[in-house]
Structure 1
């Protein structure tokens, strides 16, 4: 504006001087008459005054017009700026740079902070800062310079007391003839809290891996750059994490030469398949050899693009040493088992031969005793008195009891040593044949027998018959005092192991002593009550065990006994309706 006024003044002076000198020369050239010259000078002055007056009026009018137009534009701009300030979606305010008082706030600031406009006008910037942050705010304010500045992230407190994080940007302005600053705030609370949570997780993650014995490593997608190696690498490899990061090939250089191919192949598998695992040995700088379990995989983003690779290296030296010791112990155990099995087979063979020899050597004298006893009883029956006949009968019964005992011992020996020939066997025909033999020995007995039409098992035929003979013989014997004697053969094929059951309604026994029932020579009834050697159930147990099964009893005194046993899988009852 000053330069324009100076230009107008200079132009006016130049034109005025040019008019004065130019008009004087023109008057003098026209006439030298003094009266005409004086009259011409007067009219020349009047013309100059009138022309300059018109020019001055025109200039002033044009200047005022431009001034009013400029004022209108300024007022319009201020109105637009005010509307933009008040309606801006982000919180904004203007404050006095000297007193820190709020001079203006927009609607977004009122909504965000919870204060009314009147409350803001009675506050300073210190009132929206937490008390512990005010000192730092004042110190930073004094160091601040410049008209526009990014203040950064600070903490503010809302009227409700809630602490928030905002990012502030400041611009120096003149407001109501005061040095002021306009500030815009952007809420970054969620970002700050997320960043702090991530930093805490990273710190916890780092602390976790610093405390683990396993080595965690992360490398670039192609493995050419190591990005992270956990501190435990120094204990495992004997090199610092920094050294392993600086030389990505060091891990392969430390692999035992005999296992280098395994480690290299595992890396190729990782690149081809996305994951890999292997075990190999390494040699530390001290010369110590360690076993390593190496598990690794490629790390991909949401688009399935490989961004990194990572893995875990674990020291399994102790496991390998235990495995070696276990293998050695297993071999030693197998050797000992083989030796003891061979020795047991030899002893069993000797015992079997001994039992057969003893049985043969005992059977001949017993046969002689029985034969001569019967001969004496026949030839000299008239000469023998009542006591003599009774004694001869006792000798005969004892000899026969001894013969039965020898037969049972031989059966027990065969049950323990005879080779098994497993085949499909139907128990029902065998049971009926055994009961017919018992019926022939005691034709006066009436015993009801129930069984399914067929009951097939997988077993050795040569051992199944003595098993059933002993169990059915016991049932026949212990039902001898009942008029309504009953024996039943059945199978529960629904059980996990098909269970065969022989049930009778005989005298039964006290189950408190059931634990002794399968021991040799154990009896729960006297010989005067029921005959027997005490070997039969022991033989049954060995036969069942040799088939991989189990045998047990349930009994109640005076009500009968049920014997249960299992054999090889495959027991099946067909048409389980009772058959007499």
Structure 2
């Protein structure tokens, strides 16, 4: 290989620079997206290493490079720029795309893309792949028709005297789908927040902050409260009698990895009163760790009070029915029995006098029961 020491020195310098920058980036900010960036930088370093070796391939490749290329865990290939035909693929590409090595050699780059993506790919290859490095995200297709997103690292190379390009295709399908879902979820949240008077919230379970829509002021009369952006504020305004139950319910849902949570409780308004609410939320996880909770608090205070009123009315109606079937019968039966005992010839005046007293007592009992029913009927109104 011509100028091998110079290329090796350049490779070592590149690796040192990338490693130092990656380490400093991780020390300054170790968020997951920076870990992904650090991994990408290291992967790119590996790609450059293979490029430096590939660019000086002799007519007969070295066994060391052959092994390194074939066993590298990320799909890689070399294709002829003029025809877009595959010239060489590694084992990871064979496993990922489902084609045999022989089948790959009969394909072009068009065959691992959907037909509707080919025109844009051809245009991009002509404009962006003219002797320069390239990096971009594209949709690829496996042999079975499955689509997935990859991040392409493309570098110019010479392969057996042919003008070629060296490709590494990193699978980023999961990241792309998660990003799309998060974006769509954010759009749905914004539309929902604008379309409803309910209190819609977006809680960050990592920072314990929360964003509310205008429903917080409409329903609970809170206006420009600085502490409403904290999850602790929401917890503190749950009715003391409901607080433990709600916290246990939420912790249980998160501990089991469930995505949905719903509970009814009482929430304190700005004027100190409490409203019955129903709270429904979707919990989003990242690497099995809950990091976002989007939900809606709906005011059901009027419905709860109406339900309780109906329950009280039903209770009263049952009491009236019991009085009609039990208490009224007693004096009515007594009255009917007494009237049947009167001496219509008035020969036994003492008996008739006693019966009149009994009749008066039974009539008084009946009158008391009727007043009792009237009182309960007024409660229904």
TM-score normalized with structure 2 length: 0.48
Return the index of the structure with the highest Cα Rg.
Answer: 1
Higher RCO structure, 1 or 2 (CA under 8 Å, sep 6+): 2
